[in-house]
Amino acid sequence: MRSVDDLDVTGRRVLVRLDLNVPMDGSSISDDGKIRACLPTLRTLIDRGAAVIACSHLGRPAGVPDARYTLAPVADRLAQLLDGPVGFTGEVVGPSARSAIAALRPGGVVLLENLRFEPGETSKDDDVRGDFAAQLASLADAYVGDGFGCVHRKHASVYDVPARLPHAAGYLIQAETAALGRLTSSIRRPYVVVMGGAKVADKLPVVESMFGMADRILVGGAIAVPFLAAQGRAVGASLLEGDQEAARSYLEKAAASGVDLVLPTDVIVATQRSAEAEYAVVSVAEIQPRQMVLDIGPQTARLFAGKLADAGTVFWNGPMGVSEIPSFAAGTRALAAALADSEAFTVIGGGDTAAAIRRLGFADDQFGHVSTGGGASLEYLEGKKLPGLVALEAEYVPATASA
């Protein structure tokens, strides 16, 4: 991919696709890690005299404006972090957006409203998506892709716009692909993969793809539930998405391939997923019908820490429990502490995991790399072609040259 350093931006309008999809508590940002991650690219564009048009999505609005998903709070926080004004358009490609961009001077920044307020952003119809991409591209002279968290989406601002403008990758995408590349080549062993969190259907294929790569796979969080069920354990009222057959086959493949696939031996359970719920530590053989698995237990936390002690490389995606509730955060905290003290090259796989470690008081620089893209990092490690990276790797061909 061409670097932003190689792109002519001075005095030009540059559309920068970021991932500012930050967790919100009402109208307040609860974790600004993704905003901080894009600052190096934005600052270099500002310093080089570009007129910066930032754009992003937030949440999953249904292709129409929705006040719950406005990027206005993000514009305010971005201005604070950049220590300078950031304009906000209140729409994506309409008259007020074009007026704000027309008034933008070199070194200035404006943030467009949530891209997903426009149905063309996420449309599966190539023509509809292409029409919206053409409108976005008409706002700028060049494009920089720096939203790693959305490069696995074939969306207009991620995939279609780069084909219409001179383009390059920002520093964040370069850092992400470099870090994840270390997990697929020149691996320092033992290589330990830690899988947790929810979205079980998305993560089970990653477990399978790791059999030829990882030495150990530690499984906690909601993804552990189908594995426990596959072993014949009762999992009570825990969410079970019908994936135990796949989990059973993975247990067999792990045994056949010599991969050490490690499951919880004890868990923290409760009958409610709330801070007020009474909870207990039980063996995985003692889960009762009304109980939900909400964290790994202390014995499992020690077991997992021991499996990480001699690791050379670690990839961790997904908290060990419902870590936003203090009663169910101990497992995630224990793993984060083990990795913070480790000499291994550690990659935290973005999304909920990154937010969780910050919420628990850990700093990004205590780990080798903290990714901004949970889903993107998983698909990258599966070996999938990510549309946003494919688009950035492609050479820009002006329309007149291709006619």
293 and 374 housed in the same domain: yes
The stretch 299-304 carries a mean pLDDT of 98
Report pLDDT for 224: 93
Report pLDDT for 242: 62
Confidence of residue 400 (pLDDT cuts 50, 70, 90): low
Task: Tell me: pLDDT of 221 over 60.
Answer: yes
Task: Tell me: pLDDT of 189 over 90.
Answer: yes
- The answer to whether residue 215 is domain-embedded is yes
214 and 345 housed in the same domain: yes
- The answer to whether residue 293 is domain-embedded is yes
Task: Choose the final residue of a domain: 133, 158, 175.
Answer: 175
288 and 364 housed in the same domain: yes
- The answer to whether residue 250 is domain-embedded is yes
Report pLDDT for 383: 87
366 and 221 housed in the same domain: yes
325 and 359 housed in the same domain: yes
* Percentage of residues of the chain with pLDDT beyond 70: 99
Task: Tell me: pLDDT of 402 over 50.
Answer: no
253 and 272 housed in the same domain: yes
Report pLDDT for 184: 85
Enclosing domain of residue 299: 182-379
The stretch 83-105 carries a mean pLDDT of 96
Least confident of 61-70, 81-90, 234-243: 234-243
Confidence of residue 151 (pLDDT cuts 50, 70, 90): very high
102 and 226 housed in the same domain: no
Least confident of 150-164, 199-213, 282-296: 199-213
On average, the pLDDT of the chain sits at: 94
Report pLDDT for 399: 76
Confidence of residue 241 (pLDDT cuts 50, 70, 90): low
> What string of H, E and C letters represents the secondary structure of the chain?
CCEHHHCCCCCCEEEEECCCCCCEECCEECCCHHHHHCHHHHHHHHHCCCEEEEECCCCCCCCCCCHHHCCHHHHHHHHHHHCCCCEECCCCCCHHHHHHHHCCCCCCEEECCCHHHCHHHHCCCHHHHHHHHHHHHCCCCEEEECCHHHCCCCCHHHHHHHHHCCEEECHHHHHHHHHHHCCCCCCCCCEEEEECCCCHHHHHHHHHHHHHCCCEEEECHHHHHHHHHHCCCCCCCCCCCCCHHHHHHHHHHHHHHCCEEECCCEEEEECCCCCCCCEEEEECCCCCCCCEEEEECHHHHHHHHHHHCCCCEEEEECCCCCCCCHHHCHHHHHHHHHHHCCCCEEEECCHHHHHHHHHCCCCHHHCCEECCCHHHHHHHHHCCCCHHHHHHHCCCCCHHHHC
Domains identified in the chain, total number: 2
Report pLDDT for 198: 81
The stretch 173-198 carries a mean pLDDT of 92
118 and 203 housed in the same domain: no
213 and 154 housed in the same domain: no
Confidence of residue 403 (pLDDT cuts 50, 70, 90): very low
Task: Choose the final residue of a domain: 156, 175, 194.
Answer: 175
Report pLDDT for 239: 80
Higher-pLDDT residue of 309, 351: 309
Least confident of 118-122, 127-131, 244-248: 244-248
The stretch 247-257 carries a mean pLDDT of 89
Report pLDDT for 202: 76
Task: Tell me: pLDDT of 181 over 60.
Answer: yes
97 and 171 housed in the same domain: yes
Report pLDDT for 197: 87
- The answer to whether residue 403 is domain-embedded is no
pLDDT single digits (tens) 316-373: 999 999 999 999 999 999 999 999 999 999 999 877 899 999 999 999 999 999 999 9
